[in-house]
Amino acid sequence: MSTDQLNELSATAIVEKISSGSVTAEAVTQACLDRIAAREDTVKAWAYIDPDYALAQARILDDADVKGPLHGLPIGVKDVIDTSDMPTQMQSPAYEGHQPKTDASCVAMLRAAGAVILGKTVTCEFAGSFPGPTTNPHNPAHTPGGSSSGSGAAVADYMVHGAFGTQTGGSVLRPASFCGAVGYKPTYNLINRSGLMFAAENLDTIGLLTRTVDDADLLMSVLLNRPRSAIIAPETKPKIGFCRTHHWDSALAETITAMEDSLKRLEQAGAEIIDITLPESFAGLSTARNALNDFERSRVMADLWQNERDQLSTNIAKQLENGTIMEYNTYRDAVTLANDSRAQLEGIFGDVDFCLAPAATGEAPEGLGYTGDPQFQGCWTILHVPTISLPTHKGPNGLPVGIQLVGQRWQDESLLSWSRWVMNKLRPAL
């Protein structure tokens, strides 16, 4: 295998090759850097990268006697997550040159397991809605989604084997669906958030963008000190809940096609399909999520609002203004609705193994000023359940269209296992 193909392998395959001694960490890192050199002018996925430093990390690992479970694996880090050796600048002039003294917990754990922290990926400003320069790797005239824009684009474009993202509304799954990656948002707060710049602390969840379900499972096994999730036998016949959600009317033709095709072929594979209808009260969750986001973000960024308002985009300034003037009762009502809805969810899902739902409205919209509608992801984010976007379909413009699987809270390993099963059944459509 030539060096320039190493960046195209899965994270799982790379770890196995480095562990066996058939390739070096330096060669893998160089392959990623070569891809970045060739494509970064178009994709613009990286907020910070130092090729010499990345290679120095890899050489140190190659000289080490002990190999960790992620030895030599290049990883990207969304630029709202702290790194001790690289700036964390939040895509904001207010944080230009900001250098944390310590790694975020999630970064420290992957580094200790032998990962090469390749660089910082572009985020929308403070993980909000004001986009950075990143483009969709399949067509630079289209958005990559947000706010984990750089992570989704870099992974999908073979620049890096995996990357951290964060999701407050739809910021992991939407870039995954738009760019054609696996986007995994765990159960709320499953990945420790120490070292993350909060947006809204009752919503923010650190997640992963990878190329395969196995890769997400590999990284989670390190972050949680657990075995890999179980392999489900191909002949197993799951019970799948089909949940359109209250936003079904906003689904474009390509998303409806992806849902219908997935349901048809999973049913042909032996799955039993059960329609899941959410209670009417759940229709208010999107409004509640927006209230939580604005109220909590205005507290997180109170100092910036008071003292550096001129350095904030109009997008985020409006959110902070909304949150600052919001009455406490509005916020409390949003929290109450969220808690009540979570308490109902187990009964609503019943005995289904997982739910299938739209991952996004459709293909990535044209233009870079709008990162897409977050409703199909945000309604699950406020419910704190694990969700994953799988790259299974394409739309009329040849751009990726994902599907979303949803699990019960704390049933992440089961969701990953079923995601692997689903990908194996739908793979011929790719």
Helix (H, G, I), strand (E, B) or coil at 85: coil
Distance separating alpha carbons of residues 227 and 70, to the nearest angstrom: 14
| 18, 72 contact by CB (below 8 A) | yes
Distance separating alpha carbons of residues 398 and 77, to the nearest angstrom: 28
The phi and psi torsions of 210 (rounded to 5 degrees) equal -140, 180
| Residue where the block lists tokens 């080490």 | 64
394 is catalytic: no
| 189, 230 contact by CB (below 8 A) | no
Lateral strand order in the sheet of 354-358: 46-49, 116-121, 74-78, 162-167, 205-210, 182-185, 387-394, 400-406, 354-358, 239-242, 272-275
Helix (H, G, I), strand (E, B) or coil at 406: strand
Picking from 256, 255, 76, the residue whose alpha carbon sits closest to that of residue 177 is 255
250 is catalytic: no
| CA angle 186–188–194, rounded 5-degree value | 100
Q: Both tokens of residue 348?
A: 């609503």
281 is catalytic: no
| Residue where the block lists tokens 């599907």 | 403
Q: Could you say which of 17, 44, 78, 394 is catalytic?
A: 78
Distance of alpha carbon 44 from the chain centroid: 18
Distance separating alpha carbons of residues 200 and 198, to the nearest angstrom: 6
Q: Could you say which of 105, 171, 229, 341 is catalytic?
A: 171
Picking from 261, 301, 310, the residue whose alpha carbon sits closest to that of residue 427 is 261
Phi-psi region of 117 (alpha: psi -120 to 50; beta: other; left: phi over 0): beta
Please give the C-alpha separations between residue 330 and each of 61, 198, 288, 340, 362, in angstroms, as whole numbers: 52, 21, 9, 15, 32
Q: Could you say which of 92, 129, 147, 149 is catalytic?
A: 147
Q: Both tokens of residue 55?
A: 């290679």
Q: Both tokens of residue 387?
A: 């969700």
| 223, 191 contact by CB (below 8 A) | yes
43 burial level (CB within 10 Å; 0-12, 13-18, 19+) = buried
Q: Both tokens of residue 62?
A: 């190659």
Please list the residues that pair with 167 across neighbouring strands.
205
Catalytically annotated residues: 78, 147, 171
